[in-house]
Chain A
Amino acid sequence: DTGVSQDPRHKITKRGQNVTFRCDPISEHNRLYWYRQTLGQGPEFLTYFQNEAQLEKSRLLSDRFSAERPKGSFSTLEIQRTEQGDSAMYLCASSLGSGQGTQYFGPGTRLLVL
């Protein structure tokens, strides 16, 4: 399978714990996006990488959230001191090129904070 992959697919954690999600984009895709989707809503933009550089962060991304994309390949999204309001589906997408290219989404990581 050459699509976007995300790991884990599901995560249950207790409030206050730290969690980390991984995204592997389509090979050679230079752009990588993280979105968050809550029940009954469309995905909301969180952050964007072009190669290894994080170029934009949404105001939704509080200081407890951090994302990295070392060497411009896979990306990780970490949430520290999780809160119940962090419960959501975290989606990763990747695209190729310097212009508007199709964003291909992974299956997402569903987080439940108890």
Chain B
Amino acid sequence: QQQVKQSPQSLIVQKGGISIINCAYENTAFDYFPWYQQFPGKGPALLIAIRPDVSEKKEGRFTISFNKSAKQFSLHIMDSQPGDSATYFCAASTSGGSNYKLTFGKGTLLTVNP
């Protein structure tokens, strides 16, 4: 059972364009939703995260939109740059208990053409 579904699997955008990656979750106990960026040969690095008490969070060119009723959240990358080319993972975790383990989506390979 895949608890976090991510789409698209791959995405190609032109430099300066907007990249949009979507995720949907099933577990209503999830209350923390981070996005990670991973370059080849590297571990994932936190990009931006949101909690369900807000509907949007923006940090620089990166914005998370969150729809609690639809159980969906998305990452928007404005003014996409070739250096943004990487694999992006959405994730979710719950603060119930003491674990905070992350459940990841399958990832989106983003290619930004110059």
Q: Which residues of A contact B (CB under 8 A)?
A: 4, 31, 33, 35, 40-45, 48, 50, 55-56, 91, 93, 95, 98-108
Contact = CB atoms under 8 A, between A and B. Distances in A.
Given A41-B106, A42-B107, A43-B89, A101 B99 contact: no
Nearest to A89: B43
B60 interface: no
Contacts of A31: 100
B8 interface: no
A31 B102 CA distance: 13
B43 A103 contact: no
Interface of B: 4, 6, 32, 34, 36, 41-46, 49, 89, 91, 93, 95, 98-107
A43 B102 contact: yes
B103 A45 contact: yes
Contacts of A4: 43
Contact of B43 (A50, A100, A107): A107
10 contacts: A42-B104, A42-B106, A48-B101, A98-B98, A99-B95, A100-B93, A100-B100, A103-B100, A107-B41, A107-B42
The 6 closest A-B pairs by CB, nearest first: A42-B104, A105-B43, A45-B101, A105-B44, A42-B89, A100-B32
Residue in B41, B100, B106 whose Cβ sees the most chain A Cβ within 10 Å: B100
A56 B99 contact: yes
A79 to B, nearest CB: 19
A108 B100 contact: no
Contacts of B43: 4, 91, 93, 105-108
Contacts of B6: 42
Contact of A100 (B4, B95, B103): B95
B82 to A, nearest CB: 22
A71 to B, nearest CB: 20
A93 B91 CA distance: 14
Residue in B32, B46, B98, B106 whose Cβ sees the most chain A Cβ within 10 Å: B98
Nearest to A110: B41
Contact of A101 (B41, B91, B100, B106): B100
